[in-house]
Amino acid sequence: MKKKEKLTLLAVAINVLLFGLKIYAYIFSDSLAILSDSFNSLMDILSSIVIFFAVKVSSKKADSDHPFGHRSAEPIAGLIMAIFATVLGFEVIKDAVISILRIRKIEITTVTLMIMTAAIILKLVIFSLFNSYAKKINSPAIKASAIDYRNDIIVTFMVILGNIIVYSGFNIVDGIIAILVGGFIIYSGIRIGIENMGFLMGKRPPDEIIDKLKDIALSVGGVKALNDVRAHYLGSYIQIEIHIEVDKNISTERSHDIAKEVQRKLLQN
């Protein structure tokens, strides 16, 4: 089993644990903010499962039906995550508005706050793992998960802050915090969706990546200049076309060797 798959399964296990803990905290507190945060963990479980299968599909080699491989599977998974997040966010806001319009008794205890604090610690661990690995392999699905886990930390902190205020007797804050959580979930979903749509539509990589690719090509001995550089995303990978300029007096064989060396160095990076 590859590292991406192991990491995703670890995320599923942690999110199942978090979902159970948050539901337990909700049962004893009746806090809609905690319930909305538990729904957020449920979405993370579904997202992790989607990513697990997307990672397996994207790692398959090219075949006759998919000559360029299966690399679009990860951006598709990221897009599915975005849809999950947006729908869930609107549901949370709807329930929060209903909660504000009704009078509800909320019981916040020390145990409740301890559970939510433990949730933040666990999320910090999994965010660190996903964030470092996403930077290493440039995976849209893993990066989307890392962003989601970072947002979860902020959301859970907001819930804890709201619970402390509710503990002081201001119950209406619970519904307000739930609305903020819902809005944050929607924002995250839209952001992830836009980014992954760009991957699927073959958007151009950022200028810093293009400049790095140019520098790599120019570092090869025999390359005098670059006449044209075009690049776009093919799923989670970058497809690049470079026209290099070499000395007109060298042989065709030498020109070919230089081109192969440029290709080798680009693939290495």
| Residue 140 confidence (pLDDT) | 66
The CATH number of whichever domain residue 68 belongs to comes to 1.20.1510.10
Q: What's the pLDDT score for residue 181?
A: 81
Of 149, 181, 200, the one marking the end of a domain is: 200
| Listed range (56-65, 165-174, 176-185) with the worst mean pLDDT | 56-65
What pLDDT shows up at residue 177?
84
Examine the domain organization and report whether 46 and 145 are in the same domain. Answer: yes
H helix or E strand, kind and range, residue 239: strand 237-245
pLDDT surpasses 80 at 266: yes
pLDDT one-digit tens code per residue, 238-258: 888 888 888 888 888 888 888
Domain closes at, from 150, 169, 200? 200
> What local confidence, expressed as pLDDT, does residue 236 receive?
66
Question: In which element (H, E) is residue 226 found?
Answer: strand 225-234
Are 145 and 51 spatial neighbours (Cβ–Cβ below 8 Å)?
yes
Phi-psi region of 138 (alpha: psi -120 to 50; beta: other; left: phi over 0): left
Q: How confident is the model over 189-209, as pLDDT tens digits?
A: 898 888 888 888 888 888 888
Asked whether residue 100 carries a pLDDT value surpassing 80, the answer given is no
User: φ and ψ at 201, to 5 degrees?
Assistant: -90, 5
Same domain, yes or no, for 131 and 233? no
Alpha-carbon gap, residue 167 to 22, rounded angstroms: 17
Residues 176 and 215 placed together within one structural domain of the fold:
no
pLDDT tens profile 104-137: 677 777 888 888 889 899 989 888 888 888 777 7
Place of tokens 């479980």: 45
One domain for residues 52 and 97: yes
Could you tell me if 212 and 132 lie in one domain? no
Distance CA 45, CA 228 (A): 44
Q: What is the pLDDT of residue 166?
A: 78
Contact partners, residue 247, CB within 8 Å, separation at least 6: 222, 224
Residues 22 and 92 in one domain: yes
Q: How big is the CA angle at 257 (ends 256 and 260), to the nearest 5 degrees?
A: 85
239 backbone dihedrals φ, ψ, rounded to 5°: -100, 125
CA end-to-end span of the chain:
24
Say if residue 40 is in the same domain as residue 132: yes
Confidence of residue 1 (pLDDT cuts 50, 70, 90): low
Query: Does residue 24 sit in the same domain as residue 73?
Result: yes
What is d(CA 87, CA 185) in angstroms, rounded to the nearest whole number?
A: 9
Other CB atoms within 10 A of residue 75 CB: 26
Residues 51, 54, 60, 62, Cα dihedral to 10°: -140
Q: How far is CA 26 from CA 38, 108, 148, 171, 222, in A?
A: 8, 9, 22, 15, 67
Q: Mind listing the pLDDT tens digit for each residue in 218-237?
A: 888 888 888 888 888 877 67
CATH of the domain at 227: 3.30.70.1350
- Tell me the β-bridge partners of 229: 242
Query: Which comes out higher in pLDDT, residue 141 or 265?
Result: 265
Residues 137 and 83 placed together within one structural domain of the fold: yes
Q: Which residues pair with 226 in a beta bridge?
A: 244
Number of compact structural domains in the chain: 2
Choosing from 173, 200, 227, the residue where a domain stops is 200
> Do 55 and 188 fall within a single domain?
yes
Collapse the DSSP code of 247 into the 3-class scheme (helix H, G, I; strand E, B; otherwise coil) and give the result.
Answer: coil
The reply to whether 170 and 218 lie within a common domain is no
Residue 243 bridge partners (DSSP): 228
Helices (H), 138-171: 140-167
114 and 230 share a domain?
Answer: no
Mean pLDDT over 30-35 rounds to 82
Residue 256 lies in domain: 207-268
Looking at the predicted structure, is the pLDDT value of residue 143 above 80? Answer: no
pLDDT at position 44 is: 79
The model carries a pTM of: 0.68
What are the φ and ψ backbone dihedral angles of 64, each rounded to 5 degrees?
-65, -30
Count the Cβ atoms, other than its own, within 10 Å of residue 194.
11
pLDDT at 141: 67
